[in-house]
Amino acid sequence: MSEPTNVLIVGVGGQGVIMLSKVLATLCQERGLAVKQSEVHGMAKRGGAVFSHVRFGEQVWSPTIPKGKADLLIALEWAEALRWLDYLEPEHGVLIADTKRIVPPFSCRDRRVGATSSYVEGAPAEVIEQVAEGYALDASGMARELGNERAANTVLLGALSTKLPFSEDEWRGTLSRFVPPKTVKVNRAAFDEGRDWVSGRRDGEAPTAPELPDMISRARPGAGEQLDIEIVPEWCKGCDICVRICPERCLALNSEQVVVLIDRKACTGCRLCEWLCPDFAIAVRHSYVAEAVA
Amino acid sequence: MGGNTKKTVPDAAALPNEGAAPLSGNEAIARGAWEGGVRVAAAYPGTPSTEILEALAEYPRDDVHAQWSTNEKVAVDVAIGASFSGVRALSAMKHVGLNVAADALMSQTYIGVNGGLVLAVADDPGIHSSQNEQDTRLFARFAQVPVLEPSDAEEARIFTALAFEISEEFDTPVILRSTTRLSHTRSTVSLQPRVEKDGGEFVDDPVKNVIIPAHARRRHPLVLEREAALERYFDDSPLTRWEKGSTDYGIITHSTAYAYVKEVAPDAHVLKLGASYPLARETVRKFCDSVTRVIVVEELEPLLETEIRAMGIVIEGKDFVPRAGELSPEIVRGALAEAGLIPAEDAPLALDAVAELARPPVLCAGCPHMTSYFTARNLGARITGDIGCYTLAALDPLQAIDTTVAMGSGIGNAVGMAMSGTEEKPIVATIGDSTFLHSGIPPLIDAIYNQANITVLLLDNHITAMTGGQDHPGTGRTLAGEEVTAVDYEKIVRALGVEFVRHVDPYDMSDVQRTCADAIAFEGVSVVIADRPCVLDPVKIKGPALNVKEENCTACQACMNIGCPAITWSDTLFEGHHKVCIDEEMCIGCTLCAQLCTSGCITVPEATVAASA
């Protein structure tokens, strides 16, 4: 008995991962193939990572794809593509990924001068080099140009359709049943766009990964940064505003109800305390400013 | 397009009575219940079980009454009542929901059933969205009721329908155990017509139905006899399946673990147990005698392994198969290889692993809970949490929840803290509307009765949000969509004896701050109701997006303190710090960030202001 075909579809909540996997699963089922589509949701709507395993063939046992066994990895977001790369079959697995970057709020938490986002590194061209066959495309951009960025998943579906043995009509027929009636037109166009891009029909050239700009400018390193917090105790009336608003919780009131810095290392120099103090009793001195002025 | 993930079977009633359809495990359980002639179904939502009732609600109302109940105990009691009245009844819940309903189950196991009674319980191995990974099979043994364990959607349908038959034949409640993986995996299910049961009726039998000590003493031996009869039944039932293989060892397995076993050891002798309890001991013994070595591959607790060991049979299991976490083909392969039963796979030519980007779920853009927790933290409170979306406020940057235990625990925990005499901070209990109705009222009565000095922040977002937006008695709508009287929280709270009750709008940050400060200052129990609908359900709220006047932004990032996912760093800097920008697609225009902005640079677009003027 032949091994099942494994398609792993990944992305971020709200991007339409589940819709794509349902289209594929329905198509397989209507073709009379055994199919299992497994997802873990519940967190999906809240910006969490979402993934869906689709396995089909003559006989499918496990609902999940073993690591290193995905024939196709479809990623609706760039960091998600990298997260699941080890699921891709190394010798023939195909990666199709949107280069869109959705930066989670957690990766912009560092307030220090020179902080960089913790969003993953990995330029599309380098990643495409690593895999047996790979396509990194700006599906979201294509969909936006067609009038609806949310159809980016359908661009990827178009790309996926070139790699599986179903006819173009079967794909279109199933797709149109899963999208809202008002958006059938844009989704059809998005499907064609993805199909053409991967098959190189567009511009008659082999597809190449788009260059991505640095997402967050890499600011000057914070090493050697001098920060000083100056507190004028006579002016502080102990109103507590700075203590409560400090994001790093590095201020406190002492026994005389005067603000003191309790954790100098935690202070990032954001100046919230300075700007909110009604009595001008607290000031943040940045060496960065001094340099800039000098 | 984004696609609609909420309603997976929009027209279950329209499914034909023949052929096949791709259904999730939960939808298949609903289908099996419907085919099995269920008349009454009740549940409280809980991932991964929620869609069972949602799917049942799509069948004709004349066939089955499906309802959301206030909590799992009530839901099981409703199902028990329907069973008393002679119709088939089902209650669905997540594993921890059975803890809430356990009291009723432990009595009902002595009472038995009139109409078939099935509890569909979905476990969460791997703890995808729960507080623990308790194994419901142990509950079945504890309650001495049979537990059926389907391994895929088709079995889920068949086993559910069969569970009603077993329930009536053996006079017992039956647990149908699912897992996250089964509940949320879609595969082909064949469709059968409904078996309509003739209308039953209440049977007068006080010795059975009224479980007082004298009666219970007579019923207990019957429970033991029933257990033995079920064991014989499972020995002969197709639920217990012996699959001949070509190996000299054998594998005993259950549930989705069976699928993983078949994936990695397709040629092995396999004993698949469709019912883990009571154990089909005669079949197990024969199976073990037929092979040289036996390994039990079971997910979570070593229930089968312990039972089989107790028969004096030498077997292996948890020495190789992990006891914590969800199984997978890789884990089962590793376990069988370590046991020397299958050859170890060469290390696959894996692609380079890339450092993972943390992407935990977060509160939504514009979530009203942000204000409540931001305020409570600013007021220096000791904050007890509860179960719901708002538990996400425990994470960075809000970090505003000190404890979370179980449904409805927050208020009781707060009372204990107040009585401890060690807490110097003001004590604030936070609880959502649905959780408050589920199990928050008795502890609030306790707080009043014992004169605890605590503040309760009732986070009323008009929906059961975390499970995907289900109605509850406070929304004024039932599962069937009927309009009913909505619970009036203020009236309830006042009737309990709370003197300090205030309503606040979470989108008015200063009002929330002032009111909470007053509530904390109040000596005794104070209740603040933060009243704003969820931004996702029942309708997705989207107002005009705010924008940042970048030239005025001083990069203080005060706006980022509420944890709104629509706000992120921009590319430009001020004094070396990142200025902020707002994602137009995500921002719903709640203005909370603008209320925190220290430089007044976050504004509503002028065009919008002009249009609304």
Q: What is the pLDDT of residues A29-55, one digit of tens each?
A: 888 999 999 987 655 567 788 899 999
| Residue carrying the six token digits 């504004």 | B603
Q: Please provide the average confidence, as pLDDT, over all residues in chain A.
A: 85
- Stretch B162-181: mean pLDDT, rounded? 98
Superfamily of structural domain B12-235: Thiamin diphosphate (ThDP)-binding fold, Pyr/PP domains (3.40.50.970)
CATH number, domain A5-204: 3.40.920.10
- Is A68 within 8 Å of B263 when comparing Cβ atoms? no
Least confident of A46-50, B253-257, B325-329, B453-457: A46-50
For residue B325 the two structure tokens come to 């976490």
- Is A272 within 8 Å of B397 when comparing Cβ atoms? no
Query: What amino acid is encoded at A94 in this protein?
Result: V
Q: What is the pLDDT of residues B157-171, one digit of tens each?
A: 999 999 999 999 999
- Stretch B586-607: mean pLDDT, rounded? 89
Predicted local confidence at residue B278, as pLDDT? 97
Fold agreement (B12-235, B240-338) = yes
Q: Which helix (H) or strand (E) holds B138?
A: helix B136-143
Write out the CATH class of domain B240-338.
Answer: alpha beta
Q: Which of B15, B569, B574, B587 to mutate to test the interface with A (most CBs of A within 10 A)?
A: B569
- Is A104 within 8 Å of B565 when comparing Cβ atoms? yes
Predicted local confidence at residue B290, as pLDDT? 97
Predicted local confidence at residue B4, as pLDDT? 37
Residues of A with Cβ-Cβ distance to B539 under 8 angstroms: none
Q: Which helix (H) or strand (E) holds A141?
A: helix A139-146
Sign for the CA dihedral angle at B328, B331, B337, B339 comes to negative
Q: How confident is the model at residue A206 (pLDDT cuts 50, 70, 90)?
A: low
**Would an 8 Å CB–CB cutoff place B131 in contact with chain A?**
no
ipTM of this complex prediction, to 2 decimal places:
0.88
- Is A153 within 8 Å of B1 when comparing Cβ atoms? yes
Nearest residue on chain A to B262, alpha-carbon basis: A61
The answer on pLDDT for B335 being more than 60 is: yes
**Would an 8 Å CB–CB cutoff place B467 in contact with chain A?**
yes
**Would an 8 Å CB–CB cutoff place B109 in contact with chain A?**
no
Nearest residue on chain B to A190, alpha-carbon basis: B1
CA distance B148 to chain A (A): 20
**Angle at the Cα of B75 from the Cα atoms of B469 and B115, rounded to 5 degrees:** 130
Q: What is the pLDDT of residues B44-64, one digit of tens each?
A: 999 999 999 999 999 999 999
Q: What is the pLDDT of residues A168-184, one digit of tens each?
A: 999 999 999 999 888 99
- Stretch A189-213: mean pLDDT, rounded? 73
Q: Please provide the average confidence, as pLDDT, over all residues in chain B.
A: 93
Write out the CATH class of domain B547-612.
Answer: alpha beta
Beta-ladder partners of B253: B272, B297
Interface of B with A in 327-366 (CB under 8 A): 328-330, 333, 348-364
A168, A188 Cβ separation under 8 angstroms: no
Nearest residue on chain B to A11, alpha-carbon basis: B359
DSSP string of A44-95, one letter each residue? GGGT-EEEEEEEEES----SSPPTT-BSEEEESSHHHHHHTGGGB-TTT-EE
- Is A272 within 8 Å of B558 when comparing Cβ atoms? yes
- In angstroms, the first-to-last Cα distance of chain A is 75
Answer whether 0.95 is exceeded by the pTM. no
Residues of A with Cβ-Cβ distance to B348 under 8 angstroms: 67-68, 90
Q: Where are the domains of chain A?
A: 5-204, 227-293
Task: Look at residue B473 and give its three-state secondary structure.
Answer: coil
CATH number, domain A227-293: 3.30.70.20
**Would an 8 Å CB–CB cutoff place B260 in contact with chain A?**
yes
Q: Which of A51, A106, A118, A276 to mutate to test the interface with B (most CBs of B within 10 A)?
A: A106
Predicted local confidence at residue A228, as pLDDT? 83
Looking at chain B, the whole-number percentage of residues with pLDDT higher than 90 is 84
CA distance B266 to chain A (A): 10
User: Number of CB pairs < 8 Å for A and B?
Assistant: 250
- Stretch B6-20: mean pLDDT, rounded? 65
The answer on pLDDT for B347 being more than 80 is: no
Query: Which residue, among B415, B414, B417, B385, has the nearest Cα to B399 in the 3D structure?
Result: B385
Burial class (CB in 10 A: 0-12, 13-18, 19+), B203: exposed
Q: How confident is the model at residue A107 (pLDDT cuts 50, 70, 90)?
A: confident
The answer on pLDDT for B79 being more than 90 is: yes
- Distance of alpha carbon B424 from alpha carbon B418, whole angstroms: 9
CA distance A55 to chain B (A): 10
- Distance of alpha carbon B289 from alpha carbon B291, whole angstroms: 6
The answer on pLDDT for B331 being more than 90 is: yes
Predicted local confidence at residue B162, as pLDDT? 98
The answer on pLDDT for A126 being more than 50 is: yes
Predicted local confidence at residue A222, as pLDDT? 46
Looking at chain B, the whole-number percentage of residues with pLDDT higher than 70 is 95
Least confident of A57-61, A241-245, B485-489: A241-245
- Stretch B364-372: mean pLDDT, rounded? 95
- Is A219 within 8 Å of B2 when comparing Cβ atoms? no
Q: Which of B15, B264, B354, B513 to mutate to test the interface with A (most CBs of A within 10 A)?
A: B354
- Is A43 within 8 Å of B333 when comparing Cβ atoms? no
- Is A216 within 8 Å of B578 when comparing Cβ atoms? yes
Write out the CATH class of domain B369-531.
Answer: alpha beta
- Is B577 within 8 Å of A120 when comparing Cβ atoms? no
Pick the most confident of A159-163, B7-11, B197-201: A159-163
